[in-house]
C-alpha cells in the first residue's frame, strides 16, 4: 500500500508540473484529460498500444505435467452413484479416491523423505529417484481410473449399465462377436472406449463385406452378371437344399425303422451274424471281432469245459488271433451268460 501511495503522489506531482508548464489557463485535471484523449485514445495510442496485452507471468506450478505438478493427476468428475454404492466400493466422491487404491503403499516411497542442508549429491539423487518412482505410480493409478471411467466399469460392476447398453446397441451382438470382444479385451488399456467400439464395428463391416464378395463371386461362377438374376438363383438354390434335407431326413427315418440305426454296421454283413444273440453282437462289435471267429472261440472253450467236467484230459488249441485280453473278455462273458462255470474261467 505504501508503494502504491508513493506512485499516486508521483503521478499527481507530474500532472501539476505539466499544468504549471502549460500555463495558468489549464488545471491539472484538464491537462490529464487532454493527454489521455490525444495520446492514449488518439491515433498515436492506437498505433503504439496493442488491443490485448499478453500475460507474461510465468506459471511455476509445472502445468505441463512435470514432477509434483498439480496437473499431473487431474481429478475426474465424481461418480453418480448412491451413498450405499459409495460405501460398497469404498469411494470418496469429493476426492475421487477409493479406500484401497492401486499400489496402496506407493506413498511410503516419499513419506519419510526430508531435505537436509548436509545432503551430498548421491543422497539428493536418491531422493529424486524416489520422487520419480512415486510420480510414476501416481500416473499409473490415474491411468487405471481413467480406463475404468471410460469403459464404465463401475456401473458394470454395480449392474447398472445393462439397460443402457440395450438402448444404445444398434444391432444384436452374436455369440462369436462376444467371444471376440473377450479376446480383444487386453486392448482396452491402449484404446479409448470409442476407438475400441469403432475398431469392433469396422471388423464387423469387414466380415460382412468379405461375405458379400464371396457371394458375388459365387454368382459370377454360376453365370449371373446382374443382381436381378440373383433372386431367381437363390430361390432355386433354397428349393434344392430343402429337397436334399427332406431326402436325408427320409433316409434316416428309414434306417431307424430297419434296425438298430447302424449300430452293428461293421459286422452285420459278415457270415455268422445271424447266429449271434443281441448281447453277443454287442460283444463282437466292441471287440472288433468277426462273428465266425467268435463262434469258433466259443465252441473251443465250451468243448474244453465239458471235457474237464467229464474228467477227460484235453489240450485246448486256441486260435493265434486270440490274445490274452480277448480271451479274458470272452471267458467273462461266457461265465456271466451261464455257458461255463466260474471255476473253469
What's the rounded Cα separation, in Å, for the pair 99 and 88? 11
Contact between 188 and 151 under an 8 Å Cβ cutoff? The reply is yes
In the block, cell 443402457 appears at 164
> What residue ranges in the chain does DSSP mark as E strands?
91-92, 97-98
Q: How many domains does the chain have?
A: 5
> For residue 333, how many other CB atoms are within 10 A of its CB?
18
Residue 177 lies in a domain: no
* End-to-end Cα separation, the chain, in angstroms: 121
Residue 135 lies in a domain: yes
Return the C-alpha cell found at 70.
Answer: 498439480
- Are both 230 and 214 inside the same structural domain? no
Cα distances from 340 to residues 20, 228, 318, in angstroms, run: 149, 77, 17
Domain boundary among 24, 43, 74: 74
- pLDDT tens per residue across all 345 residues of the chain: 444 334 444 455 566 776 677 666 778 788 788 888 887 888 887 888 777 777 666 655 555 555 455 555 566 777 778 888 888 888 888 877 888 888 888 888 888 888 888 888 898 899 889 998 998 888 888 888 888 888 888 888 887 766 566 555 566 777 888 888 888 888 888 888 888 888 888 988 998 999 999 988 988 888 888 888 888 888 888 888 888 887 777 766 665 555 544 566 677 777 877 777 888 888 888 877 888 888 888 888 888 878 787 777 766 677 777 777 788 888 888 888 777 776 655
Residue 181 lies in a domain: no
Give 342's contacts (C-beta < 8 A, 6+ positions apart).
335
Give the domain extent around 238.
224-254
Residue 183 lies in a domain: no
Give 257's contacts (C-beta < 8 A, 6+ positions apart).
none
What's the rounded Cα separation, in Å, for the pair 115 and 123? 9
Amino acid at each position: 500500500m505504501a508503494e502504491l501511495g508513493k506512485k499516486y503522489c508521483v503521478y499527481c506531482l507530474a500532472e501539476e508540473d505539466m499544468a504549471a508548464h502549460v500555463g495558468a489557463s489549464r488545471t491539472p485535471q484538464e491537462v490529464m484529460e487532454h493527454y489521455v484523449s490525444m495520446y492514449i485514445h488518439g491515433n498515436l495510442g492506437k498505433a503504439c498500444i496493442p488491443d490485448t496485452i499478453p500475460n507474461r507471468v510465468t506459471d511455476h506450478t509445472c502445468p505441463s505435467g512435470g514432477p509434483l505438478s498439480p496437473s499431473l493427476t487431474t481429478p475426474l468428475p465424481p461418480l453418480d452413484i448412491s451413498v450405499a454404492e459409495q460405501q460398497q466400493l469404498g469411494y470418496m466422491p469429493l476426492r475421487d479416491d477409493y479406500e484401497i487404491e492401486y499400489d496402496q503403499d506407493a506413498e511410503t516411497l516419499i513419506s519419510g523423505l526430508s531435505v537436509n542442508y548436509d545432503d551430498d549429491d548421491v543422497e539428493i539423487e536418491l531422493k529424486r529417484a524416489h520422487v520419480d518412482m512415486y510420480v510414476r505410480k501416481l500416473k499409473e493409478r490415474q491411468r487405471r481410473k481413467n480406463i475404468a471411467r471410460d469403459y464404465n466399469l463401475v456401473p458394470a460392476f454395480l449392474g447398472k449399465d445393462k439397460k443402457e447398453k440395450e438402448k444404445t446397441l444398434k444391432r444384436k451382438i452374436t455369440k462369436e462377436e462376444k467371444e471376440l470382444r473377450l479376446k480383444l479385451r487386453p486392448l482396452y488399456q491402449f484404446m479409448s472406449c470409442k476407438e475400441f467400439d469403432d475398431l469392433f464395428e469396422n471388423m464387423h463391416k469387414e466380415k460382412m463385406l468379405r461375405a458379400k464378395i464371396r457371394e458375388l463371386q459365387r454368382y459370377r461362377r454360376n453365370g449371373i452378371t446382374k443382381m436381378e438374376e440373383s433372386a431367381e438363383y437363390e430361390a432355386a438354390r433354397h428349393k434344392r437344399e430343402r429337397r436334399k434335407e427332406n431326402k436325408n431326413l427320409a433316409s434316416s427315418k428309414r434306417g431307424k425303422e430297419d434296425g438298430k440305426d447302424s449300430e452293428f454296421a461293421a459286422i452285420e454283413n459278415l457270415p455268422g451274424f445271424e447266429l449271434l444273440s443281441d448281447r453277443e453282437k454287442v460283444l463282437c462289435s466292441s471287440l472288433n471281432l468277426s462273428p465266425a471267429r467268435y463262434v469258433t472261440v466259443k465252441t473251443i472253450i465250451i468243448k474244453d469245459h465239458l471235457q474237464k467236467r467229464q474228467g477227460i484230459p484235453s489240450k485246448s488249441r486256441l486260435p493265434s488271433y486270440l490274445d490274452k485280453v480277448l480271451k479274458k473278455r470272452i471267458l467273462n462273458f461266457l461265465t456271466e451268460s451261464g455257458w461255463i462255470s466260474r471255476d473253469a474261467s
